[in-house]
Amino acid sequence: MAVACGALLVSLTACGGSDGGGAAAGTATRGGGATGQAKARTADLERIPGVGDRLQDRIPENSRQVVAVYGEGRDSADSTIVLYTKHGSTWDRTKSWRGHNGKKGWTTDHSEGDRRSPVGVFTLSDAGGVLADPGAKLPYTRSASFQVPHYWAKSHWHDFDYVIAIDYNRVKGTSPNDPARPEGQSKGGSIWLHMDHGSGTSACVSLSKSGMEYLLRTLDPDQHPVVVMGDKADLRA
């Protein structure tokens, strides 16, 4: 059983829990089609836009896929998720989606139950969910243990149909719902990318089903994918 964002053993209000809003899942939007990508190449994106030196320097040199999560504000649950792909020495804006983060916003010192998503740069190494593998390049664990209890609001029943583990306080190379927390329980954990239910989460980042399917089929261990996440002010700092 999962903890926080899926570890039902410890928290039954994970990633939004049963008290979350009942809006329909967010709709995926294409961020930078042919025109957008052409503009990105014209602009010669040698850096991830909106990310200052502090976090930019933490992106591994060998990473060629970055999922950037731009939170609207420190206390906001609304985000824009953008996938950037590196070609040569420059980045292209590949896709973008509207989504959500922690109900109470963001923090640079995440702790268990604060309902804020952690600001930082984290690797992406494992995936899983209730549904069958849609063709993921990351190692994928299908398990009924991801299923949320049906006494949660119906809008949350499919939250963990697909998940990608964000490598915050977890052991890489394990299922996303592995409960191990190397830095201790108080630092929180089980922070995931998962399917959106239309409102804020407990600490995870959520986006549409089509967005999750796209990321699962695109993020490649050989490209060393990472997520850069935070509110816009902290990202720029």
- Angstrom distance (rounded) from CA 25 to CA 194: 11
Residue 13 has pLDDT above 70, yes or no: no
* Predicted TM-score (pTM) of this structure: 0.84
Q: For residue 52, which phi and psi values (nearest 5 degrees)? A: -80, 180
- 193-235 pLDDT, tens digit each: 999 999 999 999 999 999 999 999 999 999 999 999 999 999 9
Q: How many CB atoms lie within 10 A of CB 125?
A: 22
Q: What's the whole-number mean pLDDT along residues 88-101?
A: 97
Residue 106 has pLDDT above 60, yes or no: yes
Q: Give the C-alpha distances (Å, rounded to integers) separating 210 from 4, 6, 134.
A: 24, 20, 11
Q: Which two tokens stand for residue 151?
A: 């006494």
- Angstrom distance (rounded) from CA 138 to CA 147: 20
Are 4 and 180 a contacting pair, CB within 8 Å? no
Alpha helices in the chain (DSSP H): 34-43, 53-56, 209-218, 232-236
Q: Mean pLDDT check: name the lowest of 32-41, 121-130, 160-169.
A: 32-41
Are 114 and 104 a contacting pair, CB within 8 Å? yes
Task: Return the closest-CA partner of residue 97 out of 163, 32, 28.
Answer: 28
**Residue 152, SS3 per DSSP:** coil
According to the model, what pLDDT value does residue 206 have?
A: 98
- 22-43 pLDDT, tens digit each: 332 333 333 333 334 444 343 5
Q: Which two tokens stand for residue 24?
A: 């329909």
Q: How many residues does the chain have?
A: 237
Q: Give the pLDDT band of residue 44 (cuts 50, 70, 90).
A: low
- Angstrom distance (rounded) from CA 74 to CA 233: 8
Task: Report the chain's mean pLDDT, rounded to a whole number.
Answer: 86
